[in-house]
Chain A
């Protein structure tokens, strides 16, 4: 969807067009959910993202989007996750919860400088990379990606060693990195232009 198409969609949403709203939802739901899941648990992520769309719809007449739709939605989700993590931190007395600390670091990473690939990546692009993976590597990767199996479970399924599974996963990640190399540098340029 280019900017023009997106403007049209937004215009239609403002006028109460549910089809346009659905298109918007389909375009961004998965990315926003995966993004929120980086910082908060799954249930919380569902709520945050759904509320974000719910409010967009309820307040559609009042809402003015000056940036791109994706930047607008990602910013809202980011802010809500930030609020949630802050509350979480207050609740915990121990400061050595490294899981939580890492989440905070990660959120900081996205607020300070970097953009997530999720803001730009499309399902097509992902599928293209997966298609290019060597057969065995793809099978292993898909088990992990689609079914969320652990490396040990995957090793059992294919009757190979855990080490071999790790090798395949790392190979897959490497190819993804290659594929997204240009995208990652584009992200950099975009940020560079902003400042």
Chain B
């Protein structure tokens, strides 16, 4: 009888652990853990493991940032209240978090400025090996990839918001219909109304890619305007001035900011370019290998050797790492 009552227990545990238990499930589990302390331990340990696995998910990272900002607001506004002029101050918080090795990095925080203070242009540069996060005065959140630079005003004026980019950045723009957001690159401009998207424009490549995850953007090149729909990607060729719009694999273009780069069947030359940027190394490899295509994942926080061990298994190569110089030879 008893054994039959609990015959389904494994699935019930699983549902409970995933937060999908029904009222009957909960009732059953309660009597199950009352049967034996071992059961109790089993159930809560399983749930604990499941919950630990949520560490570092996008949802958690977003929440963490959100909570940090509101905590900042609480601790800073208190200070202002003491000075008695809080109501007349607008706090323009520019937070730059630099992710060098692990979470430790350089950090500048909350620059408080009076409304009537002059507008300054600020530039944040992520050098090779770095990934930076910036909050602009309007709350827009930007991730700047390695070897990239973003310039923006310390405060946006009344009619629009303009920033300039060299390299690659992912934007989460605060919606504001009246004040469109513009990203200017060398040869074209992306106009945005509240959205998430990625712009990739490295000088050594003549292709500018804009990938839209959510919302609405317009790509403006000279007099030509293209609309981009969510899930689409535009590639602009700066040599031929041709624009191609196609579907994009969003994961690929938007996961780099979490320190992951997934590549599917891409040429070695492109992958090595990213490796050089992310780890600030130089890779010397035979011209012949340039167009060899491979698939895999780069992880920024993993040692470089691990990645080459993998590549070595995929292609007939040998590699040698000498501090920041990597030499690849054919086997």
Whether A114 contacts B41 in the complex (CB less than 8 A), given A50-B67, A122-B55, comes out as yes
A15-23, A61-69, A85-93: which one contacts chain B?
A15-23
Question: Looking across the interface, which residue of chain B has its beta carbon closest to that of A34?
Answer: B51
Indicate whether A79 reaches chain B with its CB closer than 8 angstroms. Answer: no
What mask results when residues 29 to 48 of chain A are scored 1 for a CB within 8 Å of chain B, else 0?
Answer: 11101110110000000100
Do residues A99 and B56 form an inter-chain contact, with CB atoms below 8 A? no
Once A and B bind, how many residue pairs between them come within 8 Å at the CB atom?
A: 144
- List chain A residues, Cβ under 8 A from B23: 98-99
What mask results when residues 138 to 176 of chain A are scored 1 for a CB within 8 Å of chain B, else 0?
Answer: 000100111010110000000000000010011001001
Indicate whether B53 reaches chain A with its CB closer than 8 angstroms. Answer: yes
- List chain B residues, Cβ under 8 A from A148: 59
- List chain A residues, Cβ under 8 A from B52: 34, 116-118, 121, 126, 176, 180
Contact of A180 (CB < 8 Å), options: B49, B63, B67, B68: B49
Do residues A23 and B103 form an inter-chain contact, with CB atoms below 8 A? yes
- List chain A residues, Cβ under 8 A from B30: 98, 101-102, 105
Question: Looking across the interface, which residue of chain B has its beta carbon closest to that of A25?
Answer: B68
- The CA of A126 and the CA of B71, in the complex, are separated in Å by 27
* Count class of interface residues, chain A: 35 or more
Do residues A105 and B68 form an inter-chain contact, with CB atoms below 8 A? no
Task: Please give the number of chain B residues whose Cβ is less than 8 angstroms from any Cβ of chain A in the complex.
Answer: 51
Do residues B64 and A30 form an inter-chain contact, with CB atoms below 8 A? yes
Expressed in whole angstroms, the minimum distance between the Cβ of B26 and any Cβ of chain A is 4
- The CA of A110 and the CA of B54, in the complex, are separated in Å by 19
Do residues A33 and B63 form an inter-chain contact, with CB atoms below 8 A? yes
B9-17, B173-181, B236-244, B274-282: which one contacts chain A?
B9-17
Do residues B11 and A38 form an inter-chain contact, with CB atoms below 8 A? no
- List chain B residues, Cβ under 8 A from A27: 103
Question: Looking across the interface, which residue of chain A has its beta carbon closest to that of B75?
Answer: A57
17 contacts between A and B (CB under 8 A): A29-B68, A30-B56, A30-B64, A34-B60, A37-B51, A50-B70, A54-B71, A58-B75, A99-B21, A99-B26, A106-B47, A114-B45, A117-B48, A126-B52, A141-B53, A145-B57, A176-B53
Q: Which 6 A-B pairs have the closest CB atoms?
A: A123-B56, A98-B26, A121-B52, A117-B52, A19-B107, A98-B27
